[in-house]
Amino acid sequence: MRVPILTYHAVNIAGNDYATNDHVAFAADLHLINDLGLRIVPVHWVVDQLLGAANRDLARCVAITCDDGSDFDYFDLDHPSHGPQRSLFNCMADFIAERGAQAQPDLHLTSFVIASPQAREHLDRNCLVGRSWMSERWWRPALESGRMAIENHSWDHNHAAIALPGIDGMQRGIFHEVDNRERADAEIAVATHYIDAVIAPQRTTLFCYPYSHVNDYLRLEYFPLVENVHGMRAAFGAGAAPLMTNSDRWNLPRYICGWHWKSPEQLRAILDERF
Ligand SMILES: [Zn+2]
């Protein structure tokens, strides 16, 4: 198994071309992946395979994810500086309309969302434009579309832009600070319970580390030892490698748009080299 996992941030909108706008890159990349003869599959299929819970044919497959969970994932929105933005969800709908449902029958996007409503409110005001674009009202319809999964990106990202004290006195802006049981339960298990309540009867089973900050406490102790508490089956970092059978279940690698690739040529190089 060699499955590259690609990651986008729908809030990355600094212009309207590939390098400055993850919506533009995402739409272009769906076609590029398709034209390279690769199949897009749900990331939970890849985790099933890794854990021996399924045995699907994942040859020449790619999975796609997006982080931070703003309304830009699902709704078309009019950005105050850069105009109308097609949501990632609707970019997939456009792809299907153009190429036919059979081109990518398993097309699917996993969105890692921030659980805390208060944290989302702060981020909406401080990082977006204060129009309630960090809502949870799209989580359920996204799931019900069968094209998206909603997964766990922590309680509050321990985000630097949140004007509330960090849990257990944690310094904001660093997820490495989540280094004991109290902090881990507050950031991870509580997020699981909150998101699960919103999307019931579905539930979250995948985590991705805020800021791609992976520490040994979470990777070697918390995640493997108290699965019954946090409910997660795997956790994603930013290893910039394809996911393989021997990948670390609690630090699975992903490639991040705008970091590991900034142009279609660079993505093509990543994908060519991986198969
Ligand atoms: Zn994030």
| Rounded CA separation 230/97 (Å) | 39
Q: At what angle do helices 264-274 and 22-35 cross, to 10 degrees?
A: 40
Share of the chain above pLDDT 70, in %: 99
Is the pLDDT score of 24 beyond 90?
A: yes
Distance 23 CA to ligand 1 centre (A): 16
Rounded mean pLDDT of 253-269?
A: 97
Distance 28 CA to ligand 1 centre (A): 22
Q: At what angle do helices 88-99 and 22-35 cross, to 10 degrees?
A: 30
Is the pLDDT score of 274 beyond 70?
A: no
Distance 2 CA to ligand 1 centre (A): 24
Distance 99 CA to ligand 1 centre (A): 31
Distance 55 CA to ligand 1 centre (A): 31
Rounded mean pLDDT of 260-275?
A: 90
Q: What is the pLDDT of residues 191-222, one digit of tens each?
A: 999 999 999 999 999 999 999 999 999 999 99
Distance 97 CA to ligand 1 centre (A): 30
Query: Which residues lie below 8 Å from residue 81, measured CB to CB, with a gap of 6+?
Result: none
Q: What is the pLDDT of residues 42-51, one digit of tens each?
A: 999 999 999 9
Q: In 3D, which of 24, 184, 6 has the Cα closest to residue 107? A: 6
CB atoms within 5 A of ion ligand 1 belong to: 67-68, 210
